Amino acid sequence: MATLLVTVPSGREGDASLELEWALGDVKIRRTRWRGVLIVRTNLTKEEALRILKDFETTAIFKIVPLEKFVKSKKEEIIEEGFKLAKARIKEGESFAVRCKRRGNWIRSSKEIEIELGAKIKEKVNAVVNLDNPEWYVWIEVLGNRTAISVIRPEEIIKKEVEL
């Protein structure tokens, strides 16, 4: 089962939902309180869902990011769980970047989380920070009182063209 964060043009959530249903079949789509942000759950594997969506022609989807774990939006919890996921995937000497997108005011600063979590991974895993072309992203999406965390390869983030 895969969970995906899908960003869409504001006001086109309905169009994007239809495109996601056509592409993936049986999906659960949840709108968030932020315009243009959908959470999608499918029984397909992450790899299969991403492959289908990458090849499927869409007009109302900006970006698709796989989500792995949800935690409370507390800085300490985000850093702890983000580090656990990173330690399980990122090997010594591999490059990474931490990206944090904050929606709502549950955490003070996205940059603070990026810097603190990045420093911990660099020090304890002995991985290399590469903000321009990393082998891995530690991707954090703060959605109010819940935060989604993923450790993913850059090619797992799908960016699409939108017809306005």
Cα separation, 118 vs 151, whole angstroms? 12
Does 102 lie in the same domain as 37? no
Cα separation, 31 vs 39, whole angstroms? 6
| Total structural domains within the chain | 2
Does 148 lie in the same domain as 86? yes
CATH number of the domain that residue 11 is part of: 3.30.70.100
Does 61 lie in the same domain as 87? no
Cα separation, 130 vs 144, whole angstroms? 28
Query: Consecutive 10-residue runs of the chain (164 residues): their mean pLDDT?
Result: 97 97 97 96 98 96 98 97 98 98 90 98 98 98 96 97 80
What does the buried/exposed string (b/e) look like for 38-68 if buried means 16 or more CB atoms within 10 Å of the residue's CB?
bbbbbebebeebbeebeeeebebbbebbbbb
Does 98 lie in the same domain as 52? no
pLDDT of residue 163: 76
Decide if 120 is inside a domain.
Answer: yes
- Closest among 92, 2, 84, 81 to 39, alpha carbons compared: 2
Does 147 lie in the same domain as 80? yes
